[in-house]
Amino acid sequence: MDKQKTNTSFKNTINTKKKMTAQETVAKAIFALAAVFAILSVVSIIIYLLIAGIPALKEIGIFNFLFGTTWSPSYDGPASEKFGILPMIVGSIIATFGALTIGGTLGILVAVFLVYFCPKKLKTALTQTISLLAGIPSVVYGYFGLKQIVPLLAKISPNNNGTGILAVSLVLGIMILPTVASLAKDALSSVSPTYYEGALALGMTKEQAVFRIMMPSAKSGIMTALGLGIGRAVGETMAVIMVAGNTVQFPKGLFEGFMTLTGNIVMDMSYAMGVHRSALVATGFVLLMFILCLNCVLYFIKNSQKIKDKANQKDKKNCHKYNFDTASSKAIVYANKTKLYTVIKYICFAATIIMLAAIAYLILFIVIKGIIAFGRVGVLNFLFGKSGAGYISLAPAFVSTGALILIALAIALPIGISAAIFLVEYSRKNSVFVQIIRLFTDTLSGIPSIVFGLFGVIVFNDFFGLNYSLLSGGLTLSIMILPTIVRSVEESLLAVPLMYREASFALGAGKLHTIAKIVLPCAIKGILTATILSIGRIVSESAALLLTAGSVKNMPASITSPGSSFAVMMYMFASEGMYMDETYATALVLLVLVVIINMLVFAIAPKGKEKKV
């Protein structure tokens, strides 16, 4: 009888989908548009690079382009030109492999130390150090490599040449270390502690539990960490060109000059024309394709892990049993290998020491050299003195960097915040749409800055006729920092308790009002963090700016004039060879900025999470 009633009364179901006011509808549409911006960006980067690269591919032929072994642009005419990028592809692969061997290994070992063997008191300091390492600009790494690592290697090199594969591997290794370490750390800390306890209960030592149970459980996370490390290494430009030796040839040995895909683009782009220019864009496209494939692989690793997790959750009992079974068998097999694991533990410790030594070396080097240099060029004079027409100072860099930050934030903050609002407040959790946007946002954040630079040149400099200008640089940067903003604002919106929203709705407030008056003010810390992180990224950026905003040393007249940020300025000082003091002094300024930015992020970010672990 009950059932019958249910069926008949279905007809007068009340429509609870409340009608939105016009204002709410418009707002929602705007937020949705902002959310698809990441998709639009990725798609248009692919399309524009492809369009601009096609002339070269047609002229040269895809096969000759990818597998040609000579790269020789010339002005005698197309007949004598050759554009083969195979040496650069091989160069990039080998350099990445070298970086991964050094930085990837060290990064994972440091992460293991940090999660399992680090005294609690040191944890925060170590985490902070790792994020500082991640924030130091490529040009500073490159210059450090050029001035310290290369001369050192030259001494042990059979041909007295320090530049080449080994130098690049070392520099890139240090650079990807923080990426790998911090992601691997996250992966390890998210493994359920019950596994660990179970292993200990079965008589495994702490070391055995970590290496036989915890590390294998975090496998996919660690692989993702390494994958992102690869992405960073492949895309790195400025540090590489300072220590690679830059001769277009197959890397013949550890100490022979070679060239990477990125290096070739940034070195030739400033003067290339016609087919040459198009060939450089096509090189960027090859790089982009590689990164996109890498992203796909990482996506599948992540997804398959998620499916596994879900299955595990569904069948917790069995999973537990399984883990205990494997744990017990392993405990038996490895019971007498305790020593080996103790040794590995000390290796983790050593890796951490190596990392700390490297960062101490780099910081001391920059600080000491920087202070001496400032003494020679005069602090005030160099920071704020006259510039242009024979005078050198950083005053233009202050202005240019400031302008770039303002332009980029003015565009990216509203779009990023709106996108985050759409994802959190207007979409169902984990709906397909949200997942697609996340995927594209992640993809966007993995694209190398040199590719953004090419995109900026094609679209802003050439198509919109902005030429080398702060505006063009700022626009390019705004796309680069968008993923950071979306991600960290999204996180902070998700952290705002649902009950605040409920309370506001119950008082009669609409969605928009609730977001504006309750949700956003609660998320203000996340928004600030996103802003500061973005500023950090802008301050340390150089490759993309070199292509889009130019590299002049004088004061920009307006946002349509070219201008150099600190990092670009430092690269110009370094590459022109006659401004050694100025280079060190600028490096010190950059270092100070990065330290300040790092401290701000740590001061603002919610600390509860970090402390509880």
Partner 1 sequence: MKVKEIEKFNLEETAINIQNANLYYGSFQALKDINMQIKKGEITAFIGPSGCGKSTLLKCLNRMNDLVENCKIEGKFEIGGRDIYAQGMMLQMLRKNVGMVFQKPNPFPMSVYDNITYAPRLYGIRDKSTLNEIVEKSLKGAAMWNELKDRLNKSALALSGGQQQRLCIARALSVDPQILLMDEPTSALDPISTGKIEELCSSLKENVTIVMVTHNMQQAARVSDKTGFFLLGELIEFDETENIFSNPQKEQTERYITGRFG
Residues that bind partner 1 (CB under 8 A): 2, 5-6, 9-10, 12-18, 428, 497, 499-500, 502-510, 513, 517-518, 521-522
Contact 573, 582 (CB under 8 A): yes
Write down the least CB distance from residue 27 to partner 1, Å. Answer: 16
Task: Output 309-317 pairs: Cβ under 8 A, ≥24 positions apart.
Answer: none
Closer by beta carbon to partner 1, 9 or else 336: 9
Closer by beta carbon to partner 1, 31 or else 196: 31
d(CA 169, CA 583): 23
d(CA 199, CA 341): 15
Closer by beta carbon to partner 1, 33 or else 509: 509
d(CA 494, CA 524): 12
Write down the least CB distance from residue 21 to partner 1, Å. Answer: 10
Closer by beta carbon to partner 1, 32 or else 518: 518
Question: Which runs of E-coded beta strand occur in 320-402?
Answer: none
Joined tokens for residue 59 = 């002229």
Cα–Cα distances in angstroms (integers) from residue 318 to residues 210, 310, 315, 455, in the given order: 22, 13, 6, 51
Closer by beta carbon to partner 1, 155 or else 428: 428
Write down the least CB distance from residue 604 to partner 1, Å. Answer: 16
Closer by beta carbon to partner 1, 372 or else 503: 503
Q: What phi and psi, each to the nearest 5 degrees, are found at residue 281?
A: -65, -40
Closer by beta carbon to partner 1, 93 or else 516: 516
Nearest Cα to Cα of residue 99 among 211, 235, 220: 235
Name the 3-class secondary structure at 209.
Answer: helix
Determine whether 11 is exposed, middle or buried from the number of CB atoms within 10 Å of its CB (0-12, 13-18, 19+): exposed
Write down the least CB distance from residue 487 to partner 1, Å. Answer: 23
Closer by beta carbon to partner 1, 380 or else 506: 506
Write down the least CB distance from residue 25 to partner 1, Å. Answer: 15
Write down the least CB distance from residue 16 to partner 1, Å. Answer: 5
Scored b (16 or more CB within 10 A) or e, 576-606 reads eeebebbbbbbbbbbbebbeebbebbbebbe
Closer by beta carbon to partner 1, 55 or else 510: 510
Write down the least CB distance from residue 262 to partner 1, Å. Answer: 46
Write down the least CB distance from residue 525 to partner 1, Å. Answer: 11
Bridge partners (DSSP) listed for residue 388: 391
d(CA 531, CA 317): 45
Write down the least CB distance from residue 35 to partner 1, Å. Answer: 19
Closer by beta carbon to partner 1, 7 or else 313: 7
Closer by beta carbon to partner 1, 15 or else 336: 15
Write down the least CB distance from residue 432 to partner 1, Å. Answer: 15
Give the position of tokens 């002229």. 59
Interior CA angle at 444 toward 438 and 446, to 5°?
Answer: 105
Contacts of 19 (CB under 8 A, 6+ apart): none
Give the position of tokens 């990477």. 260
Closer by beta carbon to partner 1, 10 or else 271: 10
- Residue 365 C-alpha from the chain's centroid: 25
Write down the least CB distance from residue 19 to partner 1, Å. Answer: 8
Cα–Cα distances in angstroms (integers) from residue 199 to residues 181, 193, 211, 476, 525, in the given order: 24, 10, 11, 50, 39
Nearest Cα to Cα of residue 118 among 208, 210, 199: 210
Cα–Cα distances in angstroms (integers) from residue 436 to residues 46, 342, 418, 425, 446, in the given order: 17, 44, 17, 16, 15
Write down the least CB distance from residue 429 to partner 1, Å. Answer: 10
Joined tokens for residue 90 = 């091989």
